[in-house]
């Protein structure tokens, strides 16, 4: 009997703003034998784009992936001033533990141009994992309107539906930092899976779980632990127990194995005005008719509705702690 065929590799482009949990997501993906990280686009969000790009290079160097290109994204949101989150992630984005800069340089092309080029070169092959405000992807769409058909699928961490936001009472950070970009991407027609704050808040790394990572003698575990102190302090103060939430690693784990979650399909829009700006709104009606009686053609989004967080967290632990 012939041996079973190896599972096909999943080829992934990341758009990310490292950021502590973004760094953990990269470390997790780097340990997956069936994942090919093709390129990274750096976005504003947790930190400015230049800092995000420098941090992406650092993380790739830690795990020996110094061949992967990193492109710098657009420095500001589409229509609002830049807001970043160093109070969560530290001035360097990695809790003060970023360390020396990488000897490598970033790519000469922008993150949006990099994504368009790769999608045209490899139509139907690439999965986009979006862990940041969606500015770069919106700009790529403006360059290449056919992008939703050139990418295999998109998995994004973002939005909040049945839980409060983490920037305002209504808005999650990635949608709040560029609502116009989020709205453009969500209505574009991608094969899109959304992993909202409702799910990622279940990815709680408690004190015992974090100690197991700290005790592991691997480069990934040592680096992951070195960037955690301020991030854990913030979450521990807010929740009253030691630990932190690993938003982006959970989204990465769901991308790798879709069976970790169950899903619902709904039309989603992003609020662009008023005190709820940046909120993600889901239309739960079975039939959506516009005021003129014409069916609304906004494509439905696949939204993670339940998650096996315990299994995901176990896989994240093994990825970082296994030599």
User: Could you list the active site residues?
Assistant: 17, 247
Phi and psi torsions of 263, nearest 5° = -135, 155
Q: How many CB atoms lie within 10 A of CB 259?
A: 8
- Spatial separation of the C-alpha atoms in residues 193 and 171, rounded to whole Å: 18
DSSP 207-248: HHHHHHHHH--SHHHHHHHHT-HHHHHHHHHHHSSSEEE-HH
- The Cα–Cα gap between 5 and 37 comes to 21
Contact 20, 247 (CB under 8 A): no
Burial of 275 (0-12, 13-18, 19+ CB in 10 A): exposed
Written as six digits, the tokens of 117 are 């080029």
- Which has the closest alpha carbon to 110: 12, 42, 194, 62? 42
Residue carrying structure tokens 């092959």: 125
Selection from 273, 278, 252, 82 nearest residue 165 by Cα: 278
Residue 312 gets which letter from DSSP? H
């Amino acid at each position: 009997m012939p041996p079973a065929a190896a599972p096909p590799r999943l080829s992934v482009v990341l758009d990310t703003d490292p950021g502590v949990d973004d760094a953990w997501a990269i470390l997790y993906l780097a340990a997956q034998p069936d994942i090919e990280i093709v390129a990274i686009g750096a976005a504003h969000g947790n930190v400015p784009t230049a800092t995000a790009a420098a941090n992406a290079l650092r993380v790739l160097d830690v795990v020996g992936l110094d061949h992967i290109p990193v492109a710098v994204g657009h420095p500001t949101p589409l229509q609002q001033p830049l807001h970043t989150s160093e109070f969560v992630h530290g001035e360097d984005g990695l809790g003060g533990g970023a360390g020396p800069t990488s000897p490598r340089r970033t790519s000469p092309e922008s993150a949006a141009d990099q994504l368009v080029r790769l999608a045209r070169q490899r139509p139907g092959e690439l999965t986009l994992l979006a862990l940041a405000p969606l500015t770069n992807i919106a700009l790529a769409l403006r360059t290449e309107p056919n992008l939703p058909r050139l990418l295999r699928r998109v998995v994004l961490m973002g939005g909040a539906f049945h839980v409060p936001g983490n920037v305002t009472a209504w808005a999650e950070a990635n949608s709040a930092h560029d609502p116009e970009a989020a709205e453009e991407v969500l209505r574009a027609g991608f094969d899109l899976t959304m992993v909202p704050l409702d799910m990622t808040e279940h990815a709680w790394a408690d004190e015992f779980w974090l100690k197991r990572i700290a005790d592991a003698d691997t480069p990934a575990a040592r680096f992951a632990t070195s960037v955690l102190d301020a991030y854990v302090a913030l979450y521990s103060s807010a929740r009253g127990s030691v630990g932190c939430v690993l938003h982006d690693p959970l989204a990465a784990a769901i991308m790798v194995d879709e069976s970790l979650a169950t899903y619902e399909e709904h039309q989603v829009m992003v609020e662009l005005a008023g005190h709820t700006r940046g909120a993600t709104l889901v239309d739960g009606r079975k039939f959506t008719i516009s005021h003129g009686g014409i069916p609304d053609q906004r494509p439905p989004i696949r939204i993670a509705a339940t998650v096996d967080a315990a299994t995901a967290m176990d896989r994240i632990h093994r990825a970082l702690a296994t030599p």
